[in-house]
Amino acid sequence: MTEKQLLLGDHAIALGALHAGLSGVYAYPGTPSTEITEFIQMSPLAKERGVHSKWCTNEKTAMEAALGMSFVGKRALVCMKHVGMNVCADPFVNSGMTGVNGGVVVVAADDPSMHSSQDEQDSRFYGKFAMIPTIEPSTQQDAYNMIQDAFELSESLKLPVLMRIVTRLAHSRAVVEVKTEARKCNSISPAENWRDWVLLPVNARRKNDSLTALQPKLKELSNNSTLNIDCKKGSPKQGIIACGIAYNYVTENLADMPEYDILRISQYPLPTEKICAMATRCQSILVVEDGQPFVEEQLLGILPTAIKIEGRLSGALPRTGELTPDNVRKALGLSAHEHEEACELVVPRPPALCQGCGHRSVYEAINTVIREKYPDAKVFGDIGCYTLGALPPFSALSSCVDMGASITMAKGASDAGLQHAVAIIGDSTFTHSGMTGLLDAVNANAPITVVISDNLTTAMTGGQDSAGLNKYEAICLGLGVDRNHLHVVEPLPKNMEEITRIIAQEMEYRGLSVIIPRRECLQTLNRKLKQKKSAK
């Protein structure tokens, strides 16, 4: 039996995973992946089955916990935004070496055009790097179906499988036909050969050989995969390879194409036989892929080929930024649809910190102290709502690189002789990746001022639980921060005098200090009040 549901791509993945007999989802929130885990947290089926869905502290702890669940024989899902793959790269790559027992699927949600990210990296490279299969759905229906295929593939190969999606699939809704019954969850059945899981060199060498030896089989699976579809009409001179969501932008234009020869790729490693077959019947191949030129580069190699390869590298498509129906249409040689020019009156409307947000008071205080006492000071920022402090009216930040980098960069700058270095980091980012850096700073007694701007939630992604809630003073003291230089303040306009005094005093101090301005995020506070009201 099936039924139709209107689902976000993220929701389709979540429901597909539940229907595949998922026992646990492990994730740290990150746009555009967050809604996968949230869907499972709200799912009655997940509740009934006791599916684990609590947020993890970061992507590395998530990946490792999933591997543990797999070791015991159950199916686990790991979800993250693309840059989360960097954080979990160590266990992710090594999970290819250990292999899996219960199925493991890792969903990496890429963000071409960086709608809410700091880079445009393409997670397909990670699948190739770890030498495991990668699945790339085109539609929400694919996402629902393929996550189930991916769990089957994972258990049959005894390897983790990577599913790569992009923002426009994750955050787009469509009607999806879904099953009304779910596969049973696996029962406990721990892996039998412990040597497979102990990556001492003696075991790792053997596993490396077997993973390498498996590669031709993965290629053969791709060649025979029903996910890699040929779609042909007539005998055009140009073949088209369209990966994942790019296939939608190509097929959108089919009505205007008298003939076409398209290979959709949704399973990697690349189906080399299918590609070679296309090369024998075409004079050129256009590669349409969202993200980086992953396929195009592999087809090009270094030495000249008889067949012309076009795509992002040749200039047929823009080198960076996401694909659109318009730039794909142009690459297909079709003329643009008639349209009006953009209106010059319209000005950008950048996002801003909410009116009344605690982060605002924190930046006002820091800026006041710097302006009045330490004009040479630098403020190192981090990832979260408070990154918006880089924009006017605050213009407070000198850097924002990756989760946790505020503390470690402030320390490095201080090591180099910068007199007054301030780090500003949110509560959730601090537990994600800031704690280890703070220990470095403690051990060096680095003369930096660390501001943990605590709004009791992971606000940027919509108010998910913050792993260190109510534990920040204990964490700092436990790491060795001097009790006399650890302050908690309430960032309200009426407390500005006290806050600026404490910041000034600690910037003057030639050792490590931590200041925790703490006030609940207005968005989560309002949501709680609304829930309370509707409960009455």
Partner 1 sequence: MKRDIILSGVGGQGILSIATIIGDAAMNKGMYIKQAEVHGMSQRGGDVHSHLRISDQPIASDLIGQGCADIVISMEPMEALRYKSALKKGGWIVTAKAPFVNIPNYPNIDAIYAELGKLGNAILVDAETIAKENQMTRSVNMILLGAAANALGLDIETLSASVARIFGSKGDEVVAMNVKALQLGAEVK
519 touches partner 1 (CB under 8 A): no
Measured from the CB of residue 351, what is the shortest distance to partner 1 in angstroms? 3
- Site residues (CB under 8 A) for partner 1, limited to 440-479: 460-462
Residue appearing with tokens 């109510």: 470
**CA-to-CA distance for 225 and 267, rounded, in angstroms?**
7
Binding of partner 1 by 264 (CB under 8 A): no
Does 251 contact partner 1 by CB under 8 A? yes
Element (H, E) at 218: helix 215-224
Instruction: Kindly tell me which residue out of 72, 131, 174, 418 binds partner 1, with binding defined by CB under 8 A.
Output: 174
Task: Name residues contacting partner 1, limited to 371-400 (CB under 8 A).
Answer: 385, 388
Identify the residue among 347, 494, 532, 536 touching partner 1 (CB under 8 A). Answer: 347
328 CB-contact burial (10 Å; exposed 0-12 / middle 13-18 / buried 19+): buried
Question: ∠ CA(424), CA(89), CA(133), 5° rounding?
Answer: 140
The answer to whether residue 146 forms part of the interface with partner 1 (CB under 8 A) is no
Determine, following the binding rule CB under 8 A, whether residue 338 of this chain makes contact with partner 1: yes
| Sheet with strand 308-310: strands edge to edge | 229-233, 260-265, 238-243, 284-288, 308-310
Closer by beta carbon to partner 1, 324 or else 505: 324
Q: Which stretch binds partner 1 (CB under 8 A): 55-63, 278-286, 344-352, 437-445?
A: 344-352
Indicate whether 177 belongs to the interface with partner 1 (CB under 8 A): no
Site string for partner 1, 291-330 (x = CB under 8 A): ---------------------------------xxx--x-
Contact between 535 and partner 1 by CB under 8 A: the answer reads: no
- Beta carbon nearer to partner 1, 188 or 336: 336
* Cα 463 → chain centroid: 17
How many Å separate Cα 379 from the centre of its chain? 26
Quote the least distance from Cβ 376 to partner 1, whole Å.
29
* Helix, strand, or coil (residue 285): strand
- The single residue listed with the structure tokens 């070679």 is 276
- 341 contributes a contact to partner 1 by CB under 8 A: yes
**By rule CB under 8 A, what string of x and - marks binding of each residue 6-35 to partner 1?**
x-x----------------------xx-xx
Distance set, CA 133 to CA 103, 120, 266, 383 (Å):
13, 21, 10, 31
* Nearest C-alpha neighbor of 282 from the set 310, 246, 258, 255: 310
Q: How far is the CB of 461 from partner 1 (least distance, A)?
A: 7
Shortest separation between residue 368's beta carbon and partner 1, angstroms: 21
Contact 90/40 with Cβ under 8 angstroms? no
Residues in the chain: 536
Q: Are 27 and 78 in contact (CB under 8 A)?
A: yes
Asked if residue 522 binds partner 1 (CB under 8 A), the reply is no
Strands 284-288 vs 260-265: parallel, antiparallel or unpaired: unpaired
Residue 350 or 417 with smaller CB distance to partner 1: 350
For 80-112, give one letter per residue: b (16+ CB within 10 A) or e.
bbbbbbbbbbebbbbbbbbbbbbbbbbbbbbbb
401 makes contact with partner 1 (CB under 8 A) = no
Provide, rounded to whole angstroms, the least separation between the CB of residue 357 and partner 1: 9
Contacting residue, 184, 339, 483, 536, with partner 1 by CB under 8 A: 339
Positions 216 through 245 that interact with partner 1 (CB under 8 A): 245
Which two tokens mark 387?
A: 């990154």
**Residue 50 beta carbon to partner 1: minimum distance, rounded to whole angstroms:** 25
Distances (CA, A) of 331 to 310, 312, 324, 338, 470: 9, 10, 11, 17, 54
Distance CA 456, CA 274 (A): 52
Could you tell me which residues are beta bridge partners of residue 517? 489
Of the candidate residues 119, 252, 372, 415, the single one contacting partner 1 (CB under 8 A): 252
What is the spatial distance between Cα 437 and Cα 430, in angstroms, rounded to a whole number? 9
**Contacting partner 1 (CB under 8 A), which of 301, 304, 351, 417?**
351
Binding mask 102-141 for partner 1 (x = CB under 8 A): -------------xx-------------------------
Taking the complex as a whole, the smallest distance from the CB of residue 329 to partner 1 amounts, in Å, to: 7
Pair type for strands 134-135 and 267-268: antiparallel
Count of CA atoms in the C-beta half-sphere (13 A) of 14: 28
Nearest CA to 10 out of 325, 30, 83 is that of 30
| Contacts with partner 1, residue ranges (CB under 8 A) | 4, 6, 8, 31-32, 34-35, 115-116, 168-169, 171-175, 245, 248-249, 251-252, 254, 324-326, 329, 336-343, 345-354, 385, 388, 460-462, 534
